[in-house]
Structure 1
Amino acid sequence: MAGWRAMTIDRRTLLAASLAAVPAGAVAQTAAALLAPELIYLWPGRDGPGLTNATLAEVVEDRSTDPAKRDRAVSGVRQPRIEAYRPATPNGAAMLVMPGGGYTRLAVDKEGRELAEWLRARGVTAFVLTYRLPAEGWRDPANTPLADAQRSVRLIRAQAARFGVDPARVGAMGFSAGGHLCADLATRFDRAVYAPVDAADRLSARPIIAAPIYPVVSMEEGLAHAGSRAKLIGADATDTMVIEHSPDRQVTRNTPPLFIVHAEDDATVKVANSLALHAAARAAGVPVEMHLFEKGGHGFGWGRRTAGLPAHLWPELFLAWAKGRLVTT
């Protein structure tokens, strides 16, 4: 904790010194450099708890076809972490952003860093989560991603003052399988899925709002995204496992308000997943807003694949909905 506090002082001191020493034309560039994402590992020793695969090594695949738009896929995560994107003038709101990838990989750019930059430009402090993937060698695979999500929310709250964040205004957003993780966090935020490691773990992991975007929700055969189900709970999972890991079956009145987005022409994750979550929220009396778009497909992230379509506007719709809940200024 003390090291983090010193880092904050150093950054402010460096910023003041830099702005005094450089020509006016270079000020914006210098400030932008100091706002580079800050890396925070979730667990002591960096490796996540419960590792059973000693040979696990991180792999980054660059799938970009356009040099101006990066598209990296990360797998083999053994050191889960969050990247903090700090606005020049934070408004006190924070969002944990969870990329998707079928619980096989993480689309860290189009479903993580791009949205984080968009949020940061609007005063929201964004934290992109690189979480452990369940089928890569962990003692409790089905709960491993949730452990990372819970721990992330608690660490953000523990360090809220340092980031200029109101600890009561920490939300969560996820895409596809990351949308499942987002909904899982929203419905099982208080489930004990790891042993506490420090004082941060005494804090609540409940996000104030949750935004699953084209989410995998159900683990029921025929409705589930088959790849995500196989990686998370196994193709031959028991009924008990199916229910436990289907967020639509776990909604209670304590679930935070939900904002759901899906395209009806999604050929990868059936729109019925979002419909099931929406229905469960309504039945439990949980505030929920859902936007179903005619076109958009799957994996459009913050909007790179939906230019010219109504689905391109979903981030603005989210921000409008979040006002009064997450964003108050």
Structure 2
Amino acid sequence: MLFAKALRRTGMALLPLALALSAAPVAAQDDAMTAIAIPDQPAAIPLGTGTLPGAAAAESWHMQYGSRFARNVVQATLTPFLPDPAKATGAAVIVAPGGGFRTLSMDNEGWDVARALADRGVAAFVLKYRLNQTPEALEVFANWRPEPRPAPATPAEALAALQPQLEDSRAAFALVRSRAAEWGVDPDKIGMIGFSAGARLTMATQEGVAEARPAFLGNIYGPMNAQAVAADAPPLFIALAVDDPLFPNTGFGLVESWRDAGRPVEFHYYEQGGHGFGMYPKTTTSTGWFEAFAAWLRMHGFIANAG
């Protein structure tokens, strides 16, 4: 079963915005969206993939759940978070935040993840990929529901639906490899980790961008449906909570696909955590996913030299 069938089973393309953005990691009073100025991002590198076709609304940002979110991203960037040279292991990760392809959770699923990876000696690169357009006014967006769209009928259609984002992912891998010596990166140790929609992009990159060649994959509360697995597919790490509202009854086809293909896969299924737990401090054991991911990278030799 390929990516198109995954879309049909999860219904992710048809989810209401409230679910697509659901995280509910902190107090209810933080749920409201508050407009903020676009933060300075002096280290962000334009990826040169162009302006999102047909874009009318300009990029904007807001606070929610105590975290910063980007919206209406029309030009992609990549922001490096490099480790102390004394800790550097040569491993690198492209980090893809989630948000239903309508927002990007830049703190919780982007910059905070990248800082934690850099502290482990892993060069991290936060991908601010282009997003589907949403209403420009935040007060309209807060209650907006997109028009339902039919799920792609074929794997090719499923990948085509993510064409701008896959172009951004392709450019991100190309940029890191082109500057690998400068950044202290081993070109054969560049992986990708994604959260929710970012996990969907991560798996689509593995499936549809041959030149990316990720050395490992991290799927954090992303779609769990089966997909075709190549004989040389990279190791896959998966983390999901039992009480995730987006993927409650979709099975474990993704885990089984990797296992049945004889490829390395590790799956953490947390009793509690909901959707969007990311780097938020919580009392649930899902908070331990990052330590588990770091241990998994060490087991596979990617951060064997970390300090």
TM-score normalized by structure 2? 0.72
Q: Which amino acid in the other structure matches residue 328 of structure 1?
A: A
Which string of whole-angstrom CA distances, capped at 9 and with x for unpartnered residues, describes residues 207-253 of structure 1? 100000011354xxxxxxxxxxxxxxxxxxxxxxxxxxxxx323222
1:1-329 matched pairs, under 5 angstroms = 38-43=43-48, 47-48=50-51, 51-65=52-66, 71-89=67-85, 90-134=88-132, 141-190=161-210, 204-218=211-225, 248-270=226-248, 272=250, 275-302=252-279, 304-306=280-282, 308-323=283-298, 324-329=300-305
Partner Cα distance (2:236, 2:220) in 1: 10
Distance 1:118 1:41 in 2: 23
**Structure 2 CA distance, aligned partners of 1:312 and 1:271?**
22
Higher Rg of the two aligned structures: 1
The secondary structure found in structure 1 opposite 2:126 is strand
The separation in 2 between residues aligned to 1:255 and 1:74, in whole angstroms, is 32
Distance in 1 (alpha carbons) for counterparts of 2:249 and 2:215: 25
Describe the shift of the 1:217–1:80 C-alpha distance in structure 2 as closer, same or farther (beyond 3 A): farther
Give the 3-state SS of the residue equivalent to 1:295 in structure 2: coil
Q: Residues of 2 paired with 1:326 and 1:271: CA distance?
A: 33
More helix by share: 1
* Deviation >4 Å, runs of 4+: none
Are the counterparts in 2 of residues 262 and 271 from structure 1 also a CA contact under 8 Å?
A: no
User: Displacement of 1:280 after TM fit?
Assistant: 1.1
Per the TM alignment, residue 54 of structure 1 is displaced from its structure 2 partner at its CA by: 4.7
SS of aligned partner of 1:38: coil
Q: CA RMSD in A?
A: 2.0
Structure 2, unmatched stretches of 5+, are 1-40, 135-159
Is the Cα contact below 8 Å between 1:171 and 1:326 reproduced in 2?
no
Which position in structure 1 is the counterpart of 2:20?
none
Q: State the partner residue of 1:245.
A: none
Give ranges in structure 1 of 5+ residues lacking alignment: 1-35, 66-70, 191-203, 219-247
Tell me what 2:12 maps to.
Answer: none
Q: Per the alignment, do residues 130 and 117 of structure 1 end up closer, same or farther by CA in structure 2, a change over 3 Å counting? A: same
Per the normalisation by structure 1, the TM-score is 0.67
Aligned-partner Cα distance in 1 for 2:79–2:281: 24
Whole-Å separation in 2 of the counterparts to 1:320 and 1:326: 10
Partners of 1:99 and 1:255 in 2: CA distance: 22
1:300-319 CA distances to partner (integer Å, 9 max, x unpaired)? 002x143x322211111111
CA distance in structure 2 between the aligned counterparts of 1:209 and 1:58, rounded to whole angstroms: 31
Residue in 2 aligned with 1:238?
none
> Which amino acid counterpart does residue 266 of structure 1 have in structure 2?
D
Q: Which moved more, 1:143-152 or 1:158-167?
A: 143-152
Distance 1:135 1:142 in 2: 13
- Counterparts of 1:208 and 1:293, CA distance in 2: 25
Q: Distance in 2 between matches of 1:47 and 1:293?
A: 39
Identity %: 36
Letter in 2 for 1:292: Y
The answer to whether the 8 A contact 1:212-1:261 is kept is yes
**CA contact under 8 A between 1:61 and 1:72: conserved in structure 2?**
yes
